[in-house]
Structure 1
Amino acid sequence: MTGIATGGRRRALWITVFWLAIGIVSFVLGVQNEIGQRAEDIALNAAEFTTNPPPPLNLVSPASIAVALLVLGITALFAHGVQRAILVVLLPAAAIATSQLLKLHLLTRPELFELDAPNTFPSGHMTVFTALTAALIWAVPAGIRALVAVAGTVLLGVVSWQLLAYGWHRPSDVFGALALGVVAFALAGLARPARVRGAVVLGSTISIGLALVGWIVVFGALILAGVAALRGNADLMLTAAEFGGVGASALASRALLLLSAGRD
């Protein structure tokens, strides 16, 4: 058992460091840097803003979050016991509260050029979906956990795409929110590695698949962003950001799946 705990903590440590770096780099380059601000402004201006987006983006409300947490808690209670039930309720709530604290009170977006730039880092909506997806992966029985991670990738990819396509957020806001949700559960894994009841069906296969998809899409998005910058193409810059969000979503879901296993 000691070896499993050590392996789980080692994995949680690496995931914490990696995603904390993603969050910090996103903030520094996208929020605190003039070139980053201008690039994100190009993508934001190419978006078609709407106040009435389709699901799943329009499903977020205090009531829906409360219901989701209740369902997650009950699911985890029957699948894993009281401790896991408490964890999957408190961690998302803490992550969501932290995102609001960071965005509204602790972090600032300086106006580095002529732009009305209120702070939107990290995205509250993206934090909600990331934290609830993480909780669902941790709450369900091991047998379906990997499949839930795949579904979570699709959900997070759709939400990140919507947030950018409808002009609700800048790319850095999305990446920062993904990082916040993953780090919250990685810190929990550092404190107490998750234990698995039963085998994670297709766990290794899906983990490798999510890693491949995530990195391929991320690198493709970086190439698109470079081409968009050279051509001064706003629509292409937005597309690059959207694909970047999809790739990062796959990598986030993979990290959450690995954390839920608690061992190497």
Structure 2
Amino acid sequence: MSAALRAGRGRAIWYLVFWSLVGIGSYVLGVQLGIGQAAEASVLDAAEFTYDPPPPLNLVSIPSVGIALLVIGLIALAAHGIRRAVVVTIVPVLAILASQALKLHLLTRPQLFELDALNTFPSGHMTVFTALTAALIWAVPSRIRALVAVAGIGIIGLAGWQLLAFGWHRPSDVFGAIALGTASFAFAAVLKPLTPRGSALGGRVVSIGLAMIGWIVTVGAVALAVFAGVTSNSELMLSAGEFGAIGTGALAGRSLLVLAAGSR
């Protein structure tokens, strides 16, 4: 293996470990600890539940996901060849199936704060948005990859915001799903590092920008959550979760953009 491919695999391993820790940490803090369950219960109390959310949340269905994967696969086939097309169609399916298996069968939610509270970790909807965004970033021609990453992260942030604002999920569900979707593609890159096919227009600037925005917003969200907990303000706790989804999504987008660039 060349030095460039070894560097790409090493970077993929780092992102796999990082996002695995994010997912595990979200589950432990939000689901397994009483203080986390109480904080997330206040988020649900502040949310305004609806069965009829606006786009993009209301666009998720089995047919729509299937059509999206078909389109993404065709884009990857035209831009990069059959191997990339297979990766960007198979990995999202595995991530989505994994989210359902974890939520329904493998992970448990102890009754530390609420009675009969069903496990909702990780969010299936958020896994769909993250995995499809990741697939599209990997599928498009290299020159427009950074632009697609910015647009995709906007959709991830909006979907995460909606899932919390409309009371469909707890914050840990959203963070865990983003981590699962990103880690799935990092794992794929560990198995087979991508070969660079040109550079993304503005890729370095976008990568740095996403990292800065992600960390600033995430740290701000944590500070806001601490203040909300001290003051017992459920509205602020909801806002902290929403901004946390945006920050986590931006960091995920940066990771996916770097992974898609292979050894660059």
Deviation at 1:18, TM superposition (A): 0.5
Q: What amino acid is the match of 1:4?
A: A
Deviation at 1:227, TM superposition (A): 1.1
The TM-score, its normalising length taken from structure 2, stands at 0.98
Mapped to 1, the partners of 2:111 and 2:27 lie a distance apart of 14
Which residue in the other structure is 2:243 paired with? 243
Mapped to 2, the partners of 1:140 and 1:94 lie a distance apart of 21
Mapped to 2, the partners of 1:234 and 1:93 lie a distance apart of 35
SS in 1 for 2:25: helix
Mapped to 1, the partners of 2:184 and 2:113 lie a distance apart of 34
CA RMSD of aligned residues (A): 0.8
Deviation at 1:109, TM superposition (A): 0.6
SS in 2 for 1:263: coil
Which residue in the other structure is 2:91 paired with? 91
Q: What amino acid is the match of 1:208?
A: I
Which residue in the other structure is 1:254 paired with? 254
Mapped to 2, the partners of 1:123 and 1:113 lie a distance apart of 20
Is residue 16 of structure 1 aligned with residue 44 of structure 2? no
Cα deviations by residue, 1:159-181 (Å, 9 ceiling, x for unpaired):
00000000000000000000100
Q: Is the 8 A contact 2:229 2:237 kept in 1?
A: yes
Q: Is the 8 A contact 2:22 2:176 kept in 1?
A: yes
Deviation at 1:154, TM superposition (A): 0.4
Is residue 129 of structure 1 aligned with residue 151 of structure 2? no
Q: What amino acid is the match of 1:213?
A: I
Mapped to 2, the partners of 1:187 and 1:224 lie a distance apart of 33
Deviation at 1:195, TM superposition (A): 1.6
Deviation at 1:114, TM superposition (A): 3.6
Cα deviations by residue, 1:95-124 (Å, 9 ceiling, x for unpaired):
000000000000011111343310000000
Deviation at 1:11, TM superposition (A): 0.5
Q: Is the 8 A contact 2:88 2:138 kept in 1?
A: yes
Deviation at 1:29, TM superposition (A): 0.7
SS in 1 for 2:108: coil
Change in Cα spacing, 1:216 to 1:85, as seen in structure 2 (3 Å) is same
Mapped to 1, the partners of 2:229 and 2:83 lie a distance apart of 49
Cα deviations by residue, 1:104-155 (Å, 9 ceiling, x for unpaired):
0000111113433100000000000000000000000000001111011100
Mapped to 2, the partners of 1:255 and 1:114 lie a distance apart of 35
SS in 2 for 1:184: helix
